[in-house]
């Protein structure tokens, strides 16, 4: 008997594509205040006012946020966990506490849905979300400090929205974006149900 092997990313680095930031700012109705899981190269694409390059889970979160967590596993606080689930649970908790006004959370791999079940927060698909028609072509570190497309991952993605602009989220993420790779998406949990 053979077992299917789950494909994993070559690296934990998977930057949001260049067309994503304008879409997020459109939903927010203003700037992306904070990207807590970023680096200088990734922020060239997202353009957050503030970003954290390391230890972002431990720092203060605020305003309108974009969260695209690194992949892999992380020790938190004493056990190893799926890193995306830790970032998601932290965001969901801080959003529920009112520390974050609104947020877009990038789901690189739908395995997050399984791993998030271990955390006592609202689950990912309880929030409004978009399932892109095509897999997102994430970017990676490139030569001379410039990010480059890495090709779409071998698994589906989703984009979760937390905040007051649900109708705008659905409008922006349902539509195809001419001149980009964004083919549009199907949005769910958009009131009225």
In tens, the pLDDT along 151-173 reads 766 788 899 999 999 999 999 99
Cut 0.85: pTM above it: yes
**Burial readout 143-175 (b: 16 or more C-beta within 10 A, e: otherwise):** eeeebeebeebeeebbbbbbbebbeebbebbee
Ordered structural domains, the chain, with CATH = 20-188 (3.40.50)
**147 contacts 41 by C-beta, under 8 angstroms:** yes
Mean pLDDT confidence for 38-47: 90
- Check residues 68 and 5 and name the one with the higher pLDDT: 68
- Check residues 6 and 34 and name the one with the higher pLDDT: 34
The predicted structure's pLDDT at residue 142: 78
Pairing relation of β-strands 129-132 and 50-51?
Answer: unpaired
pLDDT tier at 8, thresholds 50, 70, 90: very low
Per the listing, tokens 């260049």 go with: 18
Q: How many helices (H) and strands (E) does the chain have?
A: 5, 11
In tens, the pLDDT along 56-94 reads 999 999 999 999 998 888 787 778 888 899 999 999 999
């Amino acid at each position: 008997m053979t077992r299917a092997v789950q494909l994993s990313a070559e690296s934990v680095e998977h930057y949001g594509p260049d067309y994503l930031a304008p879409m997020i700012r459109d939903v927010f109705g203003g700037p992306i205040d904070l990207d807590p899981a970023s680096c200088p190269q990734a922020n060239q694409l997202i353009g957050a006012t503030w970003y954290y390059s390391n230890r972002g889970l431990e720092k203060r979160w605020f305003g309108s946020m974009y969260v695209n967590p690194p992949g892999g596993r992380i020790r938190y606080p004493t056990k190893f966990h799926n890193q995306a689930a830790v970032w998601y649970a932290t965001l969901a908790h801080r959003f529920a506490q009112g520390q974050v006004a609104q947020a877009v959370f990038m789901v690189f791999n739908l395995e997050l849905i399984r791993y998030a079940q271990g955390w006592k927060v609202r689950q990912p698909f309880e929030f409004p979300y978009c399932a892109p028609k095509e897999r997102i072509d994430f970017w990676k570190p490139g030569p001379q400090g410039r990010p480059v497309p890495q090709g779409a991952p071998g698994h589906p993605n989703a984009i979760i929205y937390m905040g007051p602009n649900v109708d705008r989220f659905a409008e922006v993420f349902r539509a195809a974006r001419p001149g980009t790779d964004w083919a549009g998406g199907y949005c769910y949990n958009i009131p009225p149900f």
